[in-house]
Amino acid sequence: MSLEVLARHKAGGGVQGVYAHRSEATGTRMEFSLYLPPQVEAGPVPLVVYLSGLTCTWENVTTKGQFQAAAAALGLAVLCPDTSPRGLELPHEHADYDFGSGAGFYVDATEAPWHRHYRMATYVHEELPALVAAEFPIDRTRVGITGHSMGGHGALTLALKHPESYRSVSAFAPIAAPMRCSWGLKALMGYLGGEQRPAWRGYDTTALLEDGHRAGEMLVDVGTADPFLATQLKPELLEAAALAAGQPLTLRRQDGYDHSYYFVATFLAEHLAWHAERLQAT
């Protein structure tokens, strides 16, 4: 698989890179960023995958997350995929911020015309990590996953469905119950079909917990001033589902913080340290 180097910058003693490749999962050219800490000179390092939210690309967290120095100190690689396929002109693909371009929702679509390209679950969980591990000194036995908003939803659902692949999981302001908010319902109906509600449960954190899926400890931060807290994120539903399931969850309500990258950047270093504790263990 050919990998195109778009940029490389020294940061925190390591290298912040941006790359592109032709994806088999999406059938499109995909870009991603990867931070490699200086410890790669001694051998493979653990990896944290960061999934971004609606309207974002790899660039948002890479330039606004301010994580490179923390990742370097902890010896963590940080992989930031895009949020949807690019370069397509599907009907209505670019009409709304919360569906289509920039809003892949980390599902494998089954409805036409999305099913041929919008296969972000497969891309993020299978194809991209395999590519990165083949091209860079990454230890695939020590992988954690995190994300923001739509990406927090993606991180939690992937970790619950594939606990053997992710040794740690956290999230910032995740869409915790997509089947019970307008962002989620729009995505699930559009990508999976309005008559396929059983399939929706595989992409809803609270439903996965109800259905017996478990992950390791979960760390989740939400801001009390987040304008989407009550209408779209619904952390209280995650809290209740985790309690009922016996799923270890640390849910932190951060006073006065909103949904922006000011919030994410404030606590991202803490999340990386939390992941590092779990990924460095033998």
The helix/strand/coil state of 253 is strand
3-state DSSP call for residue 234? coil
Q: Which residues are catalytic?
A: 149, 226, 259
158 burial (CB, 10 Å; 0-12 / 13-18 / 19+) is: buried
Burial 7-45 (b: 16+ CB within 10 A, else e): eeeebbebbbbbbbbebebbebebbbbbbbbebbeeebb
The kind and range of the H/E element at 203 are: none
Kind and range of the H or E run holding 248? none
The two counts, helices (H) then strands (E), for the chain are 10, 9
Compute the half-sphere exposure of residue 146: CA atoms within 13 Å on the CB side of its CA. Answer: 30
